[in-house]
């Protein structure tokens, strides 16, 4: 089977969807499938050799308290038609299939069996851009989307308002082999202080400002604790650093971007993982990474996170935007090593259900069922 994995976002800029596609590419090629990745790219992407096909120049666009990097050109059709005619795909898997411009255009010109994964929980463009033209365009192309996937119940609740079903829920996965205990921690942070870890892009909706306020309260109760902040971001990082300096908050380390090779080492170094996002998270891949590493999680009770974490079992969930309850949850775990170990062990066991080897086979099964259905209806 020849499979195209189509990304709407800049593949040279790491993110949840691009990481998802990279994982599928790895699993599928190991199983012997012929895979191509089609995506916009702001700079050369060399990790996949000639299996990566760049189409479109992405531009950064503010969206949903975040930045998306997508091509906005209306002239992608010639390149897409050329690739479709040359590659002769059996199946095209589009991620956010109605996202302008690349995915929507590939769906228009694809002559293969087409399936789409809807990742977002809320707020992403695609349905609201350029209305009513975007609504008309979706209606025109909906019949070409033969199978529909969502990554969570939260994503289903959002997309089903715009797109008729049925949908199949197949979650994001986690690389169990990479995110394992068999990595070395960062020795400079093993000095007797407890380490709280935050991993995410520095965007308002990720809630780092609430974690910093909670950490200020935690330090008053427990001085020997440190906060490690891992993630891209320049403008907000400067803002957060100024606030930390202004209030005299010590032991906050802004690490910046961490490579995929170093990221498991930060989880290994941590005692607790916390990300208090305020919303618009469909599942939370970073939660799965922390759980795979056996770390207890303190997160917010937004639908996407509540679909992964069982409160009181493998983590603690607190109301979003409430740094007082966030601080109390952190202190509960910081003062109870046995509870940390119990939650970490339960999370680690649960993460095995999200192993990419498991998730990729579920997707391949869905592909085959969709292909059989399309062939059956056309015979």
56 and 13 housed in the same domain: yes
In a domain, 180, yes or no: no
Contact 315, 298 (CB under 8 A): yes
Domain residues for 86?
2-173+355-378
pLDDT digits (tens, 9 = 90+) for 15-66: 889 999 999 999 999 999 999 999 999 999 999 999 999 999 999 988 766 7
346 and 289 housed in the same domain: yes
Q: Which residue has the higher pLDDT, 134 or 68?
A: 68
Q: What is the mean pLDDT of residues 141-163?
A: 94
The DSSP 8-state label assigned to residue 143 in this structure reads G
In a domain, 182, yes or no: no
165 and 195 housed in the same domain: no
Q: pLDDT value at position 234? A: 85
pLDDT beyond 70 at 129: no
276 and 195 housed in the same domain: yes
18 and 117 housed in the same domain: yes
In a domain, 212, yes or no: yes
Q: pLDDT value at position 16? A: 87
164 and 194 housed in the same domain: no
In a domain, 323, yes or no: yes
Q: What is the mean pLDDT of residues 195-213?
A: 96
pLDDT digits (tens, 9 = 90+) for 258-288: 998 999 999 999 999 999 999 889 998 999 9
In a domain, 179, yes or no: no
Contact 183, 268 (CB under 8 A): yes
Task: Give the pLDDT band of residue 376 (cuts 50, 70, 90).
Answer: confident
The residues that bridge with 115 in the sheet, in sequence order, are 93, 147
271 and 344 housed in the same domain: yes
Helical (H) or strand (E) element with 376: helix 356-378
Place of tokens 């008729």: 164
227 and 82 housed in the same domain: no
205 and 129 housed in the same domain: no
Contact 38, 102 (CB under 8 A): yes
349 and 359 housed in the same domain: no
- CATH code, domain carrying 126: 3.40.50.2000
The DSSP 8-state label assigned to residue 188 in this structure reads G
In a domain, 332, yes or no: yes
150 and 82 housed in the same domain: yes
pLDDT digits (tens, 9 = 90+) for 52-96: 999 999 999 887 667 889 998 989 999 999 999 999 999 999 999
In a domain, 75, yes or no: yes
The DSSP 8-state label assigned to residue 285 in this structure reads H
Q: What is the mean pLDDT of residues 310-329?
A: 98
Residue 311: left if φ>0, alpha if ψ -120 to 50, beta else—which one?
beta
In a domain, 68, yes or no: yes
Residue 37: left if φ>0, alpha if ψ -120 to 50, beta else—which one?
beta
Q: What are the structure tokens assigned to 331, written together? A: 């202190």
Q: What is the mean pLDDT of residues 351-360?
A: 98
Task: Give the pLDDT band of residue 125 (cuts 50, 70, 90).
Answer: very low
pLDDT beyond 60 at 237: yes
Q: Count the domains in the chain.
A: 2
Q: pLDDT value at position 91? A: 98
Its pTM stands at 0.92
Mean pLDDT computed over every residue of the chain: 94
Q: What are the structure tokens assigned to 262, written together? A: 């170093």
281 and 318 housed in the same domain: yes
Among 201, 5, 205, 234, residue whose Cα is nearest residue 116: 5
Q: Which residue has the higher pLDDT, 112 or 124?
A: 112
């Amino acid at each position: 089977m020849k499979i195209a994995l189509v990304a709407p976002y800049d593949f040279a800029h790491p993110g949840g969807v691009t990481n998802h596609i990279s994982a599928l590419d790895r699993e599928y090629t190991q199983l012997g499938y012929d895979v191509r990745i089609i995506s916009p790219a702001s700079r050369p992407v060399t990790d996949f050799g000639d299996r990566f096909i760049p189409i479109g120049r992405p531009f950064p666009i503010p969206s949903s308290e975040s930045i998306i990097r997508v091509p906005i050109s209306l002239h992608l059709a010639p390149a897409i038609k050329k690739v479709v005619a040359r590659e002769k795909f059996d199946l095209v898997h589009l991620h956010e299939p109605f996202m302008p411009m690349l995915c929507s255009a590939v769906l228009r010109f694809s002559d293969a069996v087409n399936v789409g994964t809807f990742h977002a929980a809320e707020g992403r463009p695609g349905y609201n851009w350029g209305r009513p033209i975007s609504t008309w365009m979706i209606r025109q192309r909906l019949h070409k989307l033969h199978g529909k996937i969502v990554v969570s119940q939260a994503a289903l609740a959002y997309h089903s308002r715009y797109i008729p079903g049925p949908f199949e829920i197949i979650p994001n996965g986690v690389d169990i082999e990479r995110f394992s205990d068999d990595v070395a921690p960062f020795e400079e942070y093993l000095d007797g202080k407890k380490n709280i870890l935050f991993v995410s892009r520095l965007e308002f909706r990720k809630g780092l400002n609430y974690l910093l306020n909670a950490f200020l309260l935690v330090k008053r109760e427990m001085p020997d604790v440190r906060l490690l902040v891992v993630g891209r971001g320049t403008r907000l990082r400067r803002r957060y650093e100024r606030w930390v300096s202004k209030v005299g908050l010590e032991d906050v380390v802004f690490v910046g971007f961490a490579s995929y090779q170093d990221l498991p080492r930060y989880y290994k170094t941590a005692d607790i993982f916390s990300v208090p996002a305020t919303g618009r998270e469909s599942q939370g891949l970073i939660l799965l990474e922390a759980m795979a590493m056996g770390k207890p999680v303190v997160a917010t009770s937004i639908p996407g996170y509540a679909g992964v974490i069982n409160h009181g079992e493998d983590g603690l969930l607190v109301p979003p935007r409430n740094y007082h309850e966030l601080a109390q949850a952190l202190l509960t775990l910081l003062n109870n090593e046995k509870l940390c170990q119990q939650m970490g062990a339960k999370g680690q066991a649960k993460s095995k259900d999200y192993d990419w080897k498991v998730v990729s086979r579920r997707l391949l099964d869905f592909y085959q069922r969709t292909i059989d259905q399309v062939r059956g209806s056309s015979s």
